[in-house]
Structure 1
């Protein structure tokens, strides 16, 4: 069990919002973890992986835009490199979110996993309670052929989820 020190204002915002606080501080500052992080960064630089990520990221974003740019329940597509996100909305024009009680993000996670797609759906995008989004963060070892596969699996997961509402 860990503890995080925050001001009363931050504590109240969390408590009066969703009550959910997601964070990740495992092994922060640990010497072995720092050495590993440095080795990873050196490998990324030596193999010019960021150039590859940017090229593949452009391909992923293009495919996501092709598939979802006019989808009635996708309010926005944004990201950088292979880190891409889609905002899911009840109404595209007004950007009205889905009712939080539907837990769309949880349903979407289940549907994506059934498709064999690892992704990061999350709720509370707008105010800690309302708003759903999904993040994609495929690995650097991704191949060009995987871009179509990711987009197709995400499309089926979203379609299945929305049909279940």
Structure 2
């Protein structure tokens, strides 16, 4: 009987040890699975962050390009304005010079004639037309700048209209 009891006890012990070993194995496997899942999640997060960074970089580049284009357009507009102002100044100087010559001629002749008055009217009309053209050009350019250029209709350009 004692031998049987001892045998049973030994068998029970062995069974318990086997159970413990199995439980330990299962725990280790679970731990390994959890670690693998965590690593996968970390990798996914890193990939997502990299994608977001790339998208942000692309957006930054696009913004930089747009700003550069706008700066170039502004510079071009400023150059055009300067050129126009120079042209105006030159024309004004030419007109003043012509006026001086006319006065000298009148003084030399003693009296003005109808032809000279007619000539004077024509010159004034021409000057007015030139100035109007210049003003229109300037207004158009300013309007284009305000609307943001690009041939299509911009949102800013529609403000205050029925379509806006």
- TM-score of the two chains, using structure 2 as the length reference: 0.19
The structure with more radius of gyration: 2
**More helix per residue:** 2
- TM-score of the two chains, using structure 1 as the length reference: 0.19
**More strand per residue:** 1
